[in-house]
Amino acid sequence: MNVLVIGSGGREHAIALKINQSKKLKSLFCIPGNPGTNKFATNFNISLTDYLKISDFCNSKEVDLVVIGPEQPLVDGLSDHLRNEGFKVFGPSANAARIEASKAFAKKIMIDADVPTAKYIEFSSSQLIESISYLEKIDYPTVIKADGLAAGKGVLICGDKSEAEAAIREIFEHKIFGDSGNKLIIEDFLEGEEASVFAITDGENFICLPAAQDHKRIGDGDTGKNTGGMGAYAPAPIIIESLSKEIEIKIIKPVLTQMVKTGNKFIGCLYAGLIITKSGPKVIEFNCRFGDPETQVVLPILNGDFLQLLYSAALGKLDKSSVQYSGGSSVCVVAASKGYPDEYVKGFEIKGLDLSDDEIIIYHSGTKEENGKILTNGGRVLGVTSAISTFNLVSAQKKSYEAISKINFDGMYYRKDIAEKAFKHPK
């Protein structure tokens, strides 16, 4: 089978690496890929907005399956274009991708499907005065979210009315999220511990992969600004078996059913960002693709044929038996550029990448290769990831931090507490 993976980040590196393990794979291509994928796949530098070139490429390489990693091309309709050209695609249509592209759309789907989530109200940018007046009527803290895509940074938790008003003005008046902030929602703050669940689906049938937990804040102890994710671990022990079943029955299945009912059948990876409250699991948000960096820890603890799983979903005949949880554990620590998630400098040489440890994977997120050297080329640069065969997150964490201590570049920063939340839960 000839496979094309679309994207250039750590998530796409992880997806491509797992696909590369399949005995059914003939050739693996990445557009555009990164220096990590270049070690085992063939990278091609084609713009993700040039649909004609991508479909011509798929024709010339006789591509059997296209796997689209990032949310933007999904939201923009790349999967629709390729399907219309006759290609099998793992990734939702633009209409279905609205479950991430519009938080208001996702909320309506949830409410209509009777899925547990926070109470909310939405406002457009023409309702600045009304949205600020509404702040008098609510409890704090409260959560304010830009409606559209904001690279995982469009959520603001406000401790009081003055913070909330400032957040609204930043979104509506100062356009900190651009057009993604033309509409916002204000929702109740939910207390609990977060978890991420990936449901691989053909639109009707689905299988949930082991739960993970992301670390969104830049600083230790979940302090500072939101980022795209500073690390993750899997499996998340807070998601016990009974809770996993509840998530499938009360959240994943009704949402997929409602998406079909509304003419938005979802084929791909439905990412449920959850919070485990005292009254049970509730949805914080849905994403229309694999999470980053959760993918980097979930895929290494799967046995079976990941390519078969994705291909069967794209065919509309999901093969639930194609993958299984291995019993292992994984911790990913993100090495970031100094200044991220704000301004940062690129182009520093990365040293220490030649680690020889079968239980360590170094995923490339924001790197480039010049004259045989690997240089920084983004805010999140690497995902230094352990993958061990037993359920022992303490050992997995230790391995990740031992590995990242041997890697360096100017201004390298990483959190020192990834996975520690897991240690308070019994096995």
Listed by start position, the domains of the chain span 2-93, 119-188, 193-424
Question: Residue 150: is its pLDDT beyond 90?
Answer: no
Region 166-187: mean pLDDT is 94
In angstroms, the Cα distances linking 354 to 35, 151, 374, 379 are: 13, 30, 11, 22
User: Residue 130: helix, strand or coil by DSSP?
Assistant: helix
Position 51: which residue type?
Y
Instruction: Write the burial class of residue 171 (CB in 10 Å: 0-12 exposed, 13-18 middle, 19+ buried).
Output: buried
269 close to 323: Cβ distance less than 8 angstroms: no
Q: Using one digit for the tens of pLDDT, what is the confidence trace for 199-233? A: 999 999 999 999 999 999 999 999 998 899 999 99
CATH topology of domain 119-188: Dna Ligase; domain 1 (3.30.1490)
Give domain 193-424's CATH superfamily.
ATP-grasp fold, B domain (3.30.470.20)
Q: Please, which contacts does 49-58 make with residues 24 or more away whose CB atoms are closer than 8 Å? A: 49/73, 49/76, 51/78, 51/81, 51/82, 54/6, 54/78, 54/81, 54/82, 55/81, 55/82, 55/85, 55/87, 57/4, 57/29, 57/31, 58/4, 58/82, 58/85, 58/87
Beta strand 183-188 pairing with 120-124: antiparallel
The H or E element spanning position 13 is helix 10-19
User: Residue 103: helix, strand or coil by DSSP?
Assistant: helix
Region 388-397: mean pLDDT is 97
CATH number of the domain located at residue range(s) 2-93 in this protein: 3.40.50.20
Question: How far is Cα 406 from Cα 401, in angstroms, rounded to an integer?
Answer: 9
Q: What are phi and psi of 12, to 5 degrees?
A: -70, -35
Q: How many CB atoms lie within 10 A of CB 62?
A: 10
Average pLDDT, the chain: 96
Question: How far is Cα 251 from Cα 270, in angstroms, rounded to an integer?
Answer: 11
> Looking at residue 226, what is its pLDDT?
85
100 close to 255: Cβ distance less than 8 angstroms: no
> Looking at residue 427, what is its pLDDT?
56
> Looking at residue 18, what is its pLDDT?
98
* Predicted model pTM: 0.95
Where residue 93 falls among pLDDT bands split at 50, 70, 90?
very high
